[in-house]
Structure 1
C-alpha cells in the first residue's frame, strides 16, 4: 500500500504526522511518502521518502497513491485514481468563517478549491460543532467522523512534561521563565491584496511588554503559514520567531499561556488547561468585513477580549486573577469543543481507516448525511 501525506503544503506536522507516526510504529507493509516544502525539509526524519510539493513528481505520487492523507486543500491539478482513498483531516475548529461561508474571497479561489473537495472520501472532525460547519462551508456530503484530532493526542500524553522540558531547553528557555505563545491568524486582505513585501504590522508594544514584564517573560511568535514571511525582523526585537518550528504541538506544551485572536489554536490549546487571552485589536474589521464568525466571539471566548496592547500586557501581568475570573467560561469551552480530545484520536482513526491486516478506507457502515459522525 502506498500512502502519500501532505500537511500545510509541505510541512511535517499536524494530524497527517500523527497518523504517519502511528502507522510507521506499527510496522505495516506500507510505502510512506511525504510532499515537502523547501523550508521544512530538515524537519523530516531521514528514513522518510520525500518529494517536493507542487512539481510533476508530487502530482505523479498523488495519482499513484492508494491513500492520500491531507490536512488542507491540495491545490494541484491531479486525478485520484480509481479505488484510491483520500482522507481529509482538516486543521482546526472553525471560529472564523471558511470556504463558501466567508464574507469575501478573490474571484475564482473558491471554485478552484472545489476540485479538491470533490476528491475527499472521508473527513475528520474534532467535535459536533465543527461537523455542522464543515458540511455547510464545504458542501461536503461524504462521511464525517468525529474522532478528535490525532495531532492533539500529544497534549494529553504521559510524555507531555518530557516534551515540554525538551522544547524549552532547545529554545534556551529555563523553567522559571513564563512563556507567552502568540498565534495570530492571517488576514485575507494581507494575503490576497497585499504587496507581497514584509507588510505584517506587529500589534504588540514590545517595549511596554519588556519594561513591565521583565526578563522572566518571553514572547514566542507563531505566525500563520499563510503570512509567515510577512514580518520584517529588526535586530534586538524582544520576541522570538517560532513560525518555522516544525510542529506547534510542542510549542503548546512549552508555553505557559496562549495569546491569540481568531485562530483555531485556542481550541487546541484549551486541552492543556492553561490560560488563553484574546488580543482582538481589529475585531470590528475582521468580523464585519474580512471573514466573519460562526458564533459571537464574546460569548464563546475562554478568556478576555483585549483591544489594546496595554490591556494585553496588563492581563499577562495579572494572569492568575484574569484566569480565575474566566475559569467557568474556560470549563464550558472545554466541554463544548474538546470533549473528544482524550489522547486516543489517532487510535480511533487507525481503527476506522487502517485496521491491521485490512484494506484502508472508510468504515462501510457509515451513512451519508449529518448523522454519519462517529462519536
Structure 2
C-alpha cells in the first residue's frame, strides 16, 4: 500500500503527522509512506522519512501513485486514479466562516477559489472533530461525501499517558520555570493583515504592559499564525517567548496553563486539556461584519470570558485557578458540544475507517 501525506505547505505536522505516527506504531499495515515537503521544512522531518519536494513532478507522481492520500489542507491539482482514497482531515473546528462562506473577497481572487473547489471534488472522506463541527464543514465545502465524527488524531497526544512528562520537558526547553504561569497567546490571522507581515503588523495585546504587570509570576508564549510567523521577528520583551516556529503546537498546549486566543480553532483543541481559555476579541464587529463572519455565536459558546482590552485580559489570566472555577459550567458545556469525540483514540478510529471499511473508499 502506498500512502502520500501533505500538511500546511509541506510541514510534518497536524492530523497527517498523527496518523502517520500511529500507523508506524501499530505496525499492522505494510505500506510505503511519502510526504510532500516544502523546501523550508524539508529538514524538520524525522530521520528516515521519505519526502518529495512540494510543487515538483515527483510530488505529483507520489499523489497519483498513492492508494491513500492524507491531507489537512488543499492540494495542488493532480490526476486521481481509480481506487485511490483521498482523506481530507482539515485542520480545526471552524468558528470563523471559511471558503466561500467567508464575508470578504479573498485577495487571491476567483481563480484560486475555483482551484480549491476543484480539489474538493477529489475528496472521499472529510473528518469532523465533533457533531457540531460536521455541519459547517460539510456546508462550507459543499461536500456530499462521508463526514465521520471521529475526533481529531492530532488531539490524541493531549490525552496520552505521558502528558505530565512531556509538559515538564517542553517547559524546560522553553525556559519556563515550574513556578511560573505560562500564558499561550495564539491569535488567528486577519485577512487584511495577511500581507502586512512586517512593519505594519500590530499586535493588540500590550506586551510591555504584560511584562510590567505579570512578569514576576507569568511567562507569555506568543504563537502567531503560520501565515504570519515572522511578523514580530526580533521581538525582545522580558518574559515573552516567541514560539511561532515551534514545530508542534501540542507541546505548547501542554506547557501552557491558560490559552488566550480569538477566533482560532485553537480553543476547540485546547479545551481537551481542561485548562482555562480566554477570548481576546478587540475587533469583534469588524471580523464578524467585514472580514469573515461566524458559524457560532462566540459570546454564547465561549468556554471563558470574551474580552476586548489588554487590561481586562491581564485581570483574567492573573489567576488561572480563579478563572477555571468562575467558568466551570460554561467550560463543561463547551466540552460536551465540541470535544465529545476526543478520547485519545481518534487516530485508531480514522485508520480503521479508511483502511477497513470499503463504503468510504471510491
Structure 1 equivalent of residue 121 of structure 2: 118
Counterpart residue number, 2:209: 208
CA distance in 1, matches of 2:53, 2:267: 31
How much does 1:366 deviate? 5.8
Structure-2 residue corresponding to 1:7 = 7
Matched-pair contact (CA < 8 Å) for 1:34–1:51: yes
> Are the equivalent residues in 1 in contact too, given 2:63–2:69 (CA < 8 A)?
yes
Residues in 2 aligned to 1:344 and 1:198: alpha-carbon distance in whole angstroms: 44
Q: Which residue of 2 aligns with 1:241?
A: 242
Please, which moves more after superposition, 318-327 or 329-338?
Answer: 318-327
1:166 aligns with 2:169: yes
Q: 2:332 & 2:197 partners in 1: Cα distance?
A: 41
Contact 1:12/1:247 (<8 A) preserved: no
* 8 Å Cα contact 1:40/1:246 also seen in 2: no
Q: Is the 8 A contact 2:211 2:237 kept in 1?
A: no
The 2-side partners of 1:169 and 1:366 are apart by 44
> Displacement of 1:308 after TM fit?
0.8
SS in 2 for 1:354: helix
The corresponding residue for 1:259 is 260
Name the CA distance, whole Å, in 2 between partners of 1:53 and 1:95.
29
| C-alpha distance after superposition, 1:327-358 (max 9, x if no partner) | 11000000010010001111111211124xxx
Q: For residues 72-91 of structure 1, what are the structure 2 equivalents within 5 Å?
A: 72-74=73-75, 76-91=76-91
Structure-2 residue corresponding to 1:353: 354
Q: Residues 80 and 290 from structure 1, CA distance in 2 versus in 1: closer, same or farther, beyond 3 angstroms?
A: same
Judge conservation of contact 2:303–2:327 (CA < 8 Å) in 1: yes
Q: CA RMSD in A?
A: 1.8
TM-score normalised per structure 1? 0.91
Task: Report 1:1-375 matches (<5 A).
Answer: 1-27=1-27, 28-74=29-75, 76-106=76-106, 107-108=109-110, 109-191=112-194, 194-195=195-196, 197-236=198-237, 238-355=239-356, 363-365=357-359
CA distance in 2, matches of 1:270, 1:215: 27
Which stretch of the first structure deviates more once superposed, 197-206 or 29-38? 197-206
How far did residue 66 of structure 1 move?
1.6
CA deviation map 1:18-61 (0-9, x unaligned): 11011112333211111122333333110101122222322222
1:128 CA displacement = 1.1
Deviations 1:146-182 (A, max 9, x none): 1100100111111111111111122122211211111
- Cα offset for 1:232? 4.3
Given that 1:259 and 1:279 are in contact with CA atoms closer than 8 Å, whether structure 2 keeps it comes out as yes
Distance in 1, Cα, partners of 2:239 & 2:203: 12
SS of structure 1 residue aligned to 2:104: coil
Shift of 1:236: 4.3
Aligned partners of 1:127, 1:174: CA distance in 2, in Å?
35
Aligned partners of 1:241, 1:252: CA distance in 2, in Å? 14
Where do 5+ consecutive residues of structure 1 fail to align?
A: 356-362, 369-375
Task: Please report how far the alpha carbon of residue 112 of structure 1 lies from its aligned counterpart in structure 2 after TM superposition.
Answer: 1.9
The farther-off stretch of 149-158 and 211-220 is 211-220
Deviation at 1:234, TM superposition (A): 3.3
- Separation (CA, whole Å) in 1 of partners of 2:199 and 2:168: 33
Query: In 1, are the aligned partners of 2:354 and 2:360 still within 8 Å (CA)?
Result: no
TM-score when normalising by structure 2 = 0.94
Structure 2: runs of 5 or more not aligned: none
Structure-2 change in CA distance of 1:224 and 1:272 (3 Å): same
SS of the aligned residue for 1:268 comes to: helix
Quote how far apart the aligned CAs of 1:198 are: 4.7
